[in-house]
Structure 1
Amino acid sequence: MRKIKRNYHKKLKGIKYIFLLQTNTMLLSITEKTKRDIFISLLQLLKAATSNVTIIFLEDHAYIQGMDSSHVCLFDARIYNIWFDKYEICENDAKNICVNSQILHSILSMAQEQDSVTLHYEGEADSLEIDLTNAKGEFNKYFKVPLIDMESDLLEIPSVEYDVEFSIKAKKMNELISQLATFGDVININCSEEKIDLISKGDGGEMLVNIPIDDLSEFSISEGQVIDISYSLNYINKMCITTKLASEIEWSISADIPLKIKYDLGDNSSIMFFIAPKIE
């Protein structure tokens, strides 16, 4: 009797997955560990910016755009279908869903080393289903997360020629921003053709970081241009808190317009953050 029960249990483990393949269901899945970690890190940044995240499933990519409650930081992510191991949409499925970013990140963070992550729903669903499954026979986990009925307008992001653009190792920038945040909540950025200075100061003291141009992976600046501008260090610190999204982080700066921070996720996919400058 025990043997029959055990075999029956093993059969059940694959039924849910087979059912998904045979129905008209919106489905995306990630099996590769590196991309799974990137996806979880992406949600880590999004939950730092907003409590609810709207995902739009288009024919060839998933699109995420939103803004923090103070309207200081805008995020814009495009993850193309080839980035996922599976990306399937159905004409009858809802194209937009909104979910609590904290809960979504917490669930995906439960994934074990060899787990595959699958997100799916069918039709005009009122919940998102998340499966964490393991090919090696570990315990599978299945979740249902209620969807949030919330409408949001998409913003058109204009194409801008920035005065200063540079790329730097994400790990190095993570360390610098974390250290600068110790001394204040505002970062002053001075850029010239020779160097970039990052400055933070407060009641406890002042910190200045000089970044020689030769230490950057890429650098460009309009001829003769000098930039002196300040941003919220709290927001920048949140956007640089992880080093798993990409090895490099791209910064684009111009006077009086939002700072752009971009992570290249591979396969033509990326996430960008736009942070408004401080007003004197």
Structure 2
Amino acid sequence: MSILRYAHLDVFTHGLGGGNHLGVVAGAEGWSTEAMQHFARWNNLVETTFLLPPEDSAASYRVRIFTPGREIPFAGHPSVGSAHIALEWGLAQPVEGELVQQCAQGLLPIKLQHRDGHRQLLLKAPPATEVTGHQPLPTELQLALAGIRGGRLPPALVDGGRRWWLVECASETELRQWQPDHNAIRALAEISQSMGICAFARASEDRAGHQVAVRAFAAGAGIQEDPASGAANGVLAWYLRHAEPEGPLSHGYQVSQGREIGHDAALQVVIADDGIWVGGATRTVIEGQLHWPLPA
């Protein structure tokens, strides 16, 4: 019987229960990939991560990220949540205000900062590239966007650790009221080998507390709608910076996500000379021991 530490987190939380769930396991150095996948399947969260000693001397720690169905190389909220626990449990120490996460995507810096008296962690988004270029948009995209009017920027397929269709909507109100065809989004995700659609709109009020509203329909990962997605927001920030380099969002903004499914996540996007950083606050909700028998 292996006894390990376990935490259940609320990542990108704006209020109690507002963010995205994450399970984090520490002490599973002796576990096989199959054992990690078995537990992640039983845990049945969008992602479960395993904190491990780094294999690269430049890293603060190593993390492996599992959905219930498979291991993935990178995801935003699992990275931010894992960094939170690495600090809380003293498994890593920041150097000049940064941690360095080792994962299958490579070495990713995570910056510490304080905002309104709370610690925030911002992940440096992986480099991104536009996949669509000047190719015609697929018919599957048109079907998936039925019932919503487009905004000022055209749809684009962008790959930045995770691949997303980025779609601007005409207004925040329309975005929040949209009832998309999830089967059509799933077909689009399959044909484009993407996560699905990250739909966004510019805030309708200056005093809304955010400048961008986001909804992420991750059919490619088997998720109907993600309450808070760091990776999708990192890809979106890259797109906005390149599409509107002198625009009002080109240096960063606040994101509201998840209200349509009973959450209220808040993400901060910082667009700087050294890259794009996406993060927010994390709350530890449950903490204790994990009793999990491994096969002989």
Structures share a fold, TM > 0.5? Answer: no
Which of the pair has more CA radius of gyration?
A: 1
Q: TM-score normalized by structure 1?
A: 0.28
- Bigger relative contact order, structure 1 or 2 (CA pairs below 8 A, ≥6 apart): 2
The structure whose residues are more often strand, as a share, is: 1
